[in-house]
């Protein structure tokens, strides 16, 4: 497994990290905890050492499952635990809302440390910017957690360049986490060039675009319960047909050019196109970790990247980003 350093912290992380949103169950039609723990162990066995989670994933449930899995697995010193803060839920609140006040962050870090069963969180990230809270308050709170050793690195997620600049004027900033995959590439216009210039590590989320790039979606695929894909514009017609056509074309290209599948192509595209990036790979079943073995040992060249862009432009005439996932402000 390829690795890189997270900023100047000395933390060394695998370039593929396990994303655990689905493991939390909420907004993904539920989850099986025992199976989720086996999934985390399968990822670690295949060389992943970075686990990305958040309290917002299942209202703390994802962190609890990750904590149980890591307690069983051991080797804590070799792992990088990344979590987040700045979203709130509870009595009188419908769903999740942004809250990056200092008291909220100070409470959240203690709750996350307890759920994860660890004395420090390796990478702690503000999940979403909170426009109702001065950036100085949010950044100062994170700096105090960093100074006190409760966290080892500071990151932000879903921030603009301007918000990153405001944050880093107060506290050290080591990483950014934007959405990025073959179908969602807005980050290439701003936050990615900024991260490269500033020497920030990128944790890019949504590598398989909520399963679209797995190659397993069909026109009649059904999503259960509260699965967020029931409200995702990409999974609604007429866009869904466009994205499925693009996946079919990318699958053919991957097989003919490299003897691979579209899933492997999608992750390889992230790694080869962004040298400072870690691709977050979501999963909640052990078998979903098996394709990891086919990602190492080959690379995409400039001609490959150009052909991928051509296929995307040909098949997806009405692209849409992940904006529907943004939580509201208070």
Sequential DSSP letters for 275-291:
TTEEEEEE-SSGGGGGG
Let me know if residue 116 belongs to a domain: yes
C-alpha distance from residue 195 to each of 20, 83, 151 (Å): 24, 20, 21
Q: Give the pLDDT confidence score for residue 24 in this predicted structure.
A: 80
User: Is 194 a catalytic site residue?
Assistant: no
CB 19 within 8 A of CB 12: no
C-alpha distance from residue 48 to each of 12, 106, 281 (Å): 11, 29, 10
User: Among residues 309, 300, 311, which one has the least CA distance to residue 275?
Assistant: 300
Kindly tell me the burial class for residue 259, based on how many C-beta atoms sit within 10 Å of its own C-beta (0-12, 13-18, 19 or more): exposed
Q: Give the pLDDT confidence score for residue 27 in this predicted structure.
A: 53
Let me know if residue 60 belongs to a domain: yes
Let me know if residue 187 belongs to a domain: yes
Q: Give the pLDDT confidence score for residue 14 in this predicted structure.
A: 97
Q: How many domains does the chain have?
A: 1
> CA-to-CA distance for 195 and 21, rounded, in angstroms?
24
CB atoms near residue 95 (< 10 Å): 11
Specify the residue for token string 């996946």.
247
Q: Give the pLDDT confidence score for residue 32 in this predicted structure.
A: 86
Let me know if residue 149 belongs to a domain: yes
The parent domain of residue 152 ranges over 3-212+267-298
Q: Give the pLDDT confidence score for residue 29 in this predicted structure.
A: 61
> CA-to-CA distance for 146 and 236, rounded, in angstroms?
43
Strand extents, DSSP E, 143-256 = 154-157, 175-177, 201-204
Let me know if residue 63 belongs to a domain: yes
List all residues 6 or more positions away from 224 whose beta carbon is below 8 Å from its beta carbon: 29, 30
Q: Give the pLDDT confidence score for residue 108 in this predicted structure.
A: 97
Q: Give the pLDDT confidence score for residue 195 in this predicted structure.
A: 97
Let me know if residue 140 belongs to a domain: yes
Let me know if residue 277 belongs to a domain: yes
Q: For the CA atoms of 149, 150, 153, 159, what is the dihedral angle to 10 degrees?
A: -140
C-alpha distance from residue 307 to each of 128, 201, 317 (Å): 34, 27, 16
Let me know if residue 48 belongs to a domain: yes
The CA-based diameter of the chain, rounded to the nearest angstrom, is: 55
Q: Can you give the CATH number for the domain in which 47 is found?
A: 3.20.20.100
Q: What is the pLDDT along the chain (330 residues), one digit of tens a residue?
A: 899 999 889 999 999 999 998 888 665 566 789 999 999 999 999 999 999 999 999 999 999 999 999 999 999 999 999 999 999 988 777 889 999 999 999 999 999 999 999 999 999 999 999 999 999 999 999 999 999 999 999 999 999 999 999 999 999 999 999 999 999 999 999 999 999 999 999 999 999 999 999 999 999 888 887 888 888 999 999 999 999 999 999 999 999 999 999 999 999 999 999 999 999 998 889 999 999 999 989 999 999 999 999 999 999 999 999 998 899 888
């Amino acid at each position: 497994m390829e690795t890189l350093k997270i900023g100047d912290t000395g933390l060394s992380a695998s370039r593929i990290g396990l994303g655990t949103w689905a493991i939390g169950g909420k907004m993904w039609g539920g989850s099986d905890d025992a199976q989720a723990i086996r999934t985390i162990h399968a990822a670690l066995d295949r060389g992943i050492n970075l686990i990305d989670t958040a309290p917002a994933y299942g209202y703390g449930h994802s962190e609890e499952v990750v904590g149980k899995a890591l307690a069983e697995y051991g080797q804590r010193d070799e792992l990088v635990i990344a979590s987040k803060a700045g979203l709130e839920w509870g009595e009188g609140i419908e769903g999740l809302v942004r809250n990056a006040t200092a008291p909220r962050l100070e409470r959240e870090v203690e709750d996350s440390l307890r759920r994860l069963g660890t004395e420090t969180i390796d990478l702690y990230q503000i999940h979403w910017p909170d426009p109702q809270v001065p950036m100085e308050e949010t950044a100062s709170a994170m700096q105090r957690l960093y100074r006190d050793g409760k966290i080892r690195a500071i990151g932000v997620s879903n921030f603009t360049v301007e918000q990153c600049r405001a944050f880093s004027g107060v506290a050290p900033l080591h990483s950014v986490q934007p959405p990025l995959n073959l179908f969602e590439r807005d980050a290439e216009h701003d936050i990615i060039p900024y991260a490269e210039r500033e020497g920030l590590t990128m944790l890019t989320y949504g590598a398989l675009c909520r399963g679209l790039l797995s190659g397993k979606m069909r026109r009649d695929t059904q999503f259960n319960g509260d699965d967020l894909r029931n409200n995702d514009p990409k999974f609604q017609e007429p866009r869904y047909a466009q994205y499925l056509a693009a996946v079919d074309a990318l699958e053919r290209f991957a097989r003919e050019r490299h003897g691979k599948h579209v899933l492997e192509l999608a992750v390889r595209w992230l790694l080869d196109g962004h040298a400072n990036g870690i691709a977050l790979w979501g999963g909640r079943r052990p078998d979903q970790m098996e394709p990891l073995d086919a990602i190492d040992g080959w690379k995409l060249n400039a001609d490959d990247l150009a052909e991928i862009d051509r296929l995307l432009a040909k098949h997806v005439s009405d692209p849409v980003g992940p904006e529907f996932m943004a939580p509201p402000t208070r």
